[in-house]
Chains A and B, each alone.
Chain A
Amino acid sequence: DGGITQSPKYLFRKEGQNVTLSCEQNLNHDAMYWYRQDPGQGLRLIYYSQIVNDFQKGDIAEGYSVSREKKESFPLTVTSAQKNPTAFYLCASGRDSGPGELFFGEGSRLTVL
Chain B
Amino acid sequence: AQSVTQLDSQVPVFEEAPVELRCNYSSSVSVYLFWYVQYPNQGLQLLLKYLSGSTLVKGINGFEAEFNKSQTSFHLRKPSVHISDTAEYFCAVSYLYGGATNKLIFGTGTLLAVQP
Residue ranges of A at the interface with B (Cβ–Cβ < 8 Å): 4, 6, 33, 35, 40-43, 45, 48, 58, 88, 90, 92, 97-107, 109
B72 in the interface, Cβ–Cβ < 8 Å?
no
Known: A99-B32, A99-B94, A100-B101. A43 touches B42 (CB 8 A): no
Given contacts A43-B90, A99-B49, contact A109 B41 (CB under 8 A): yes
- Residues of chain A within 8 A of B42, CB atoms compared: 106-107
* Chain B residue nearest to A4 in the complex (CB): B43
Between-chain CB contacts (< 8 Å), 8 pairs: A42-B90, A42-B108, A43-B106, A92-B43, A100-B101, A104-B44, A106-B43, A109-B41
Task: Report B27 CB to chain A, min CB distance, Å.
Answer: 13
Say how far A104's CB is from chain B's closest CB, in angstroms. 4
Q: Point out the residue from A33, A40, A90 that lies within 8 Å of B103, measured CB to CB.
A: A33
Residues of B94-116 whose CB lies within 8 A of A: 94, 100-104, 106-109
B contacts, CB < 8 Å to A? 9, 32, 34, 36, 41-46, 49, 51, 90, 92, 94, 100-104, 106-109
Residue of A nearest to B91 (CB): A42
Question: In the complex, are the beta carbons of A100 and B102 less than 8 A apart?
Answer: yes
A-B CB contacts (within 8 Å), total count: 58
Structural contact, A98 and B106, CB atoms closer than 8 A? no
Chain A: minimal CB distance from B67 (Å): 13
Complex-state Cα separation, A103 to B94, whole angstroms: 14
Q: Across the interface, which residues of A come within 8 angstroms of B107, CB to CB? A: 42
Whether the pair A100, B103 counts as a contact (CB closer than 8 A) is yes
Q: A97 to B44, Cβ gap below 8 A? A: no
- How far is A106 from B44 in the complex, measured between Cα atoms in Å? 8
Q: Are B101 and A97 in contact (CB under 8 A)?
A: yes
Having A43-B90, A99-B101, A100-B101, one finds 6 other A-B pairs with CB under 8 Å, namely A4-B43, A40-B108, A99-B94, A100-B32, A107-B42, A107-B43
User: Which of B9, B102, B109 neighbours the largest number of chain A CB atoms within 10 Å of its CB?
Assistant: B109
Q: A40-B9, A107-B43, A109-B41 are in contact. Are A102 and B108 (CB under 8 A)?
A: no
Known A-B contacts A33-B103, A43-B90, A99-B94; the reply to A104 vs B45 at CB < 8 A is yes
